[in-house]
Structure 1
């Protein structure tokens, strides 16, 4: 069986939003499964002593412009969330909780969270935003609230983040396939070329 593509992301990562539809399309085109892997960028950045560029700096202005431009290239609506960056931990716990119930539902939920955060500029740290998403997906909100507060799910996100760090992942989106790492929404063409090239040798 072909190895999957692992998609490491954080719901607070604007470039992960930019990449999420295209990586799904690419995996489908290549006939590979796509494993969604939410990780806490905040924890990774803290461990690496990485700091975001200061607001108003040349780098920050460029990145914000590039994100908007990149989203437009993918045909994605884009609205900067307020506040940004936001606390994405509850949303990512929600993904893992739903994944344990129904993997397909978890992916639908992930798309909806990305759309709310960056397509509509909503604060996904707010419980009512997440509850509204799961209600629209037909999942019981009380079960969801209880699930994302469980120690098992809290530990799961920490463990997934730690495992990603052990693999050398330092940012998002990051894609792993056949032992090769690709970082950034702009590396999907390189990922595709690598998969097609190595597939010919198998």
Structure 2
């Protein structure tokens, strides 16, 4: 075992620990109080990003409820290193944002949803209008109207059509300068996407993560200031809790990587969903992006780790004492997938591996660590050692990647069920809704639940 493998679990347990995060929040709050500064929420908006359309729509409600000073910034799309499949990302973002808009009861821009990506010309004009609105202090009031005009495929967006908004677009040179400064600020603060919120040292991407910000703000304000207004504007979707009775349950394809922290915190949840619905889970393992030659920038890695820790905490999933399985540990782990499935222990093995490397700091690159993972999952170590010599898993992993790509997806975890494919551990509710419909449940889509704000 290398020094790195010995130290990494100790370091990550500290860096991703809840106690450290809460201390950072407290220090930030005390520094603001000492300077008598207002609560400032920085918001980074990308005009042609559907997630930004939804995020911007949330600003008015957030400002009103939490007395925030909101500082908007207009940014460019992420660099290719942070979004290696830009065309697929655009297509999927439009579909997913439409789904989220329905889920949260947001108005759709335009009525048809996000059917087509706006042209470069329209996007440039929208940016000029957004910068103008920002300078006038009217960003929150006008952003919805500008978004609607940008995404309306039936109408042009010109200086003449902008007159109805009561503003005049800034010059292209000034707009470009403002956006360059915003891009630099976003980079310095440690992010790479649009639809991002930054509050006193912590990032929240998209409306999916605003509940973390809301819980934090409610803690700061306290029960007296919040009074009876402690409900969340954007609570996360509830997990399925009761068994479903489906005559012919569908199969759920679960695309995952052993090196994906988001896969780690959703594995047990998707297996439980399958049990409750009587649906079989097809384990579709793939190699991680970085092992397929796709770069993962440092700021992206940091945000993913921090965000996973927050999500795991809310769901009470062990996470944070990790031993990154990139490279040989992942290859060894995948080499044992065929054996695990042949013994009927596929799910047990996935859970054991994920818990081992992401919560217990086990080194899957060592025989000692991998043996521990195998034996508690019911895999005989002698059989496992033989299976490590077989590379047949590589063809399966590549076939799974191609199947995932054919669905228009490129990242994990992803799920496919009954003709619907979604990406992200926070989209498991979509699959649950499909299963509830099949069970004939006459309930509204995606019943929501507010998480307990644990502060241990």
Q: Which TM bucket (shorter chain)?
A: 0.7 to 0.9
Which of 116, 132, 135 in structure 1 is aligned with 2:356? Answer: 116
Report whether the alignment pairs 1:25 with 2:272. yes
What are the superposed Cα offsets for residues 14-38 of structure 1, whole Å, 9 maximum, x if unpaired?
Answer: 0011111111222222232222221
Which of 169, 172, 184 in structure 1 is aligned with 2:412? Answer: 172
Q: Secondary structure at the match of 2:427?
A: helix
Q: Which residue of 2 aligns with 1:91?
A: 333
Q: 1:145 to 1:82 in 2, by over 3 A?
A: same
Q: Secondary structure at the match of 1:175?
A: strand
Q: Secondary structure at the match of 1:88?
A: helix
Q: Which residue of 2 aligns with 1:39?
A: 286
Q: How does 1:90-169 map to 2 (within 5 A)?
A: 90-100=332-342, 102-103=343-344, 105-169=345-409
Which of 299, 303, 315 in structure 2 is aligned with 1:62? Answer: 303
State the 1:181 CA deviation.
0.7
Q: How does 1:68-83 map to 2 (within 5 A)?
A: 68-83=309-324
State the alpha-carbon separation in 1 of the partners of residues 290 and 418 from structure 2.
Answer: 26
State the alpha-carbon separation in 2 of the partners of residues 97 and 156 from structure 1.
Answer: 13
State the alpha-carbon separation in 2 of the partners of residues 144 and 196 from structure 1.
Answer: 39
Kept after mapping to 1: 8 A contact 2:323/2:357 = no
Q: Secondary structure at the match of 2:336?
A: helix
State the alpha-carbon separation in 1 of the partners of residues 436 and 376 from structure 2.
Answer: 38
TM-score for both structures, normalised by structure 2: 0.39
Q: Secondary structure at the match of 2:289?
A: helix
Report whether the alignment pairs 1:187 with 2:427. yes
State the alpha-carbon separation in 2 of the partners of residues 23 and 180 from structure 1.
Answer: 15
State the alpha-carbon separation in 2 of the partners of residues 199 and 44 from structure 1.
Answer: 40
Q: Secondary structure at the match of 2:392?
A: helix
Q: Secondary structure at the match of 2:255?
A: strand
Kept after mapping to 1: 8 A contact 2:319/2:359 = yes
State the 1:108 CA deviation.
1.1
- Provide structure 1 residue ranges, at least 5 long, that are not aligned to the other structure: none
What are the superposed Cα offsets for residues 144-175 of structure 1, whole Å, 9 maximum, x if unpaired?
Answer: 12113214334333333333333333111100
TM-score for both structures, normalised by structure 1: 0.82
When the two chains are superposed, the root-mean-square deviation of aligned CA atoms in Å is: 2.5
Kept after mapping to 2: 8 A contact 1:5/1:32 = yes
Instruction: Name the structure with the higher helix share.
Output: 1
Kept after mapping to 1: 8 A contact 2:250/2:417 = yes
More contact order relative to length (CA 8 Å, sep ≥ 6): 1
State the 1:110 CA deviation.
1.2
State the 1:85 CA deviation.
4.3
State the alpha-carbon separation in 1 of the partners of residues 323 and 265 from structure 2.
Answer: 18
Kept after mapping to 2: 8 A contact 1:97/1:148 = no
State the alpha-carbon separation in 1 of the partners of residues 394 and 418 from structure 2.
Answer: 29
Deviates more, 1:114-123 or 1:25-34: 25-34
State the 1:91 CA deviation.
0.5
Kept after mapping to 2: 8 A contact 1:148/1:154 = no
Q: 1:158 to 1:121 in 2, by over 3 A?
A: same
Kept after mapping to 1: 8 A contact 2:353/2:373 = yes
- Provide structure 2 residue ranges, at least 5 long, that are not aligned to the other structure: 1-247, 442-456
What are the superposed Cα offsets for residues 82-138 of structure 1, whole Å, 9 maximum, x if unpaired?
Answer: 3464541210221122212x12x2221111111101111222233331122223445
Q: Which residue of 2 aligns with 1:53?
A: 297
Kept after mapping to 1: 8 A contact 2:271/2:347 = no
